[in-house]
Amino acid sequence: MTDLTPDQEAALLESLASACREAGYVVDAIDRGLEVSGGEEEGAFYLLPDHGWLQVRCLVLDPEDLNAARDLTALFETMALAQFRLIGCRFGYDAHSGLWLVEDLYPGFEPARIPAVLEQLTFVWDALEDLFEAALEGTVPAEDAFDAAFDLEAAGPPN
């Protein structure tokens, strides 16, 4: 692990904030990192440095959403199916804070590329949102629903 000195971490956060502001995001400092949003009506991303790594995450289902579900089995199956599609990020679940979409960036990543990561997370959540809402109601989506969510066409049978 690469521990950053307090000065290095401050410099990293400043370069991340600068890149996000240049891309039109609103940036606020929080305890352990940055809160980045597209404005007042849009959700927020949290950029949290940890031992040289950067965790970028956004809340996709809050505890109220999860508590409204009769059972979370379909949600967890849907998460697994989505993850098997190699979506480029992962899910984090905490019963107290909800379901998160998470990207872990390795030590030495380029802070200027953080807006692209935020766009990727937004794309993934936009694609999966309806499937996850259905999962909260107990429906596990079929493969063709995932294809449609990502605007993909099913491949034909092999030769």
Q: Model confidence over 4-35: pLDDT tens digits?
A: 788 888 999 999 999 999 999 999 999 889 99
Domain boundaries, the chain: 6-149
Structural tokens at position 72: 């979370």
Q: pTM for this structure?
A: 0.86
User: Is the distance from CB of 105 to CB of 53 less than 8 angstroms?
Assistant: yes
Look-up of token digits 């493969």: 143
> By three-state DSSP, how is residue 131 classified?
helix
Between CA 88 and CA 125 the distance in angstroms is: 12
CATH of span 6-149: 3.30.1460.10
Read off the pLDDT of residues 97-142 as tens digits, 9 standing for 90 and up. 999 999 999 988 999 999 999 999 999 999 999 999 999 999 999 9
